[in-house]
């Protein structure tokens, strides 16, 4: 976990009920979910196995141990979990070495949050080494970043979002989370956060405490503030 916050914050600088915005990375801010699947397909093809396209919905958004473990079990490939995890991360790092494509609306939203001094955290199931590489494109504009290997249990468990809220001095119910997968949505909701879902792979239904939108271009600060009940 890395942080640039000098002290916990009680709420946003202008006193609104929204205390923090917590953002997923792959498929939410950067257009990389397809990269992971393409790499997995290539790696397993080299091992003599063809991945079923339907498995993409299963492996998206989760920790490497879950997605890699599922693919090994489903294919019977002769490779260990640790070896496969290293291989996938190395291939992904090489793929994003030059620049990572941003999702539409990401740059505008991050600039708006920074302009209004809204506490933000990048919360990802990806490993720290991957996050640090992506930050070369996104910029070090987050108060906090939480990687999958920063917590004992990552998504779909609530731990990473609870850690982010606690470190920022925010109550989870006053945090807006932006996620693209059912796994990430489950983690944020289990933490008690308000969720904006922007599905990248698979379908996500609206639900109490959850708003589904088309893209980040539909999200701005007034919209995020509208999700949180005003303070008394």
Tell me what the pLDDT averaged over the chain comes to: 89
215 touches 107 (CB < 8 A): no
What is the number of residues in the chain? 232
pLDDT of residue 89: 87
Return the SS3 of 96.
coil
Structure tokens that stand for 11 in this block: 């709420």
pTM of the model: 0.82
Interval 112-124: pLDDT, tens: 999 999 999 999 9
Per-residue model confidence (pLDDT) at position 98: 75
SS3 for 179? strand
Q: What is the pLDDT of residue 225?
A: 97
| CB-based contact 178:219 (threshold 8 Å) | yes
Rg, Å, the chain Cα set? 17
Indicate the pLDDT class of residue 231, thresholds 50, 70 and 90. low
Angle between helices 33-46 and 64-75 (to 10 degrees): 40
- CB 28, CB 198: distance < 8 Å: yes
- In the predicted structure, residue 13 carries a pLDDT above the cut 60: no
pLDDT tens per residue across span 91-113: 988 888 878 899 999 999 999 99
CB 190 within 8 A of CB 211: no
* Residue 12 pLDDT exceeds 50: no
pLDDT tens string 169-208: 999 999 999 999 999 999 999 999 999 999 988 889 999 9
Do residues 89 and 32 make contact, with C-beta atoms less than 8 angstroms apart? no
């Amino acid at each position: 976990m890395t942080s640039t916050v000098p002290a916990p914050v009680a709420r946003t600088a202008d006193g609104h009920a929204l205390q923090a915005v917590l953002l997923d990375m792959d498929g939410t801010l950067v257009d990389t979910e397809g990269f992971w699947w393409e790499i997995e397909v290539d790696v397993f093809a080299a091992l003599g196995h063809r991945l079923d396209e339907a498995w993409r919905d299963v492996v998206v958004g989760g920790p490497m141990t879950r997605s890699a473990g599922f693919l090994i079990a489903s294919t019977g490939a002769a490779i260990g979990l640790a070896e496969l995890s290293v291989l996938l991360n190395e291939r992904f790092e090489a793929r994003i070495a030059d620049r990572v494509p941003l999702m539409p609306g990401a740059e505008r939203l991050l600039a708006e949050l920074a302009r209004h001094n809204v506490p933000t955290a990048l919360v990802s199931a990806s490993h720290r080494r991957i996050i640090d590489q992506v930050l070369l494109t996104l910029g070090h504009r987050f108060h906090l970043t939480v990687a999958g290997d920063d917590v004992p249990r990552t998504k779909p468990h609530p731990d990473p979002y609870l850690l982010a809220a606690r470190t920022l001095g925010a109550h989870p119910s006053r945090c807006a989370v932006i996620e693209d997968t059912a796994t990430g949505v489950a983690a944020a909701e289990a933490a008690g956060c308000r969720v904006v879902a922007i599905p990248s792979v698979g379908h996500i239904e609206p639900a109490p405490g959850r708003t589904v939108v088309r893209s980040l271009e539909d999200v701005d600060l007034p919209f995020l503030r509208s999700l949180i009940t005003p303070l008394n």
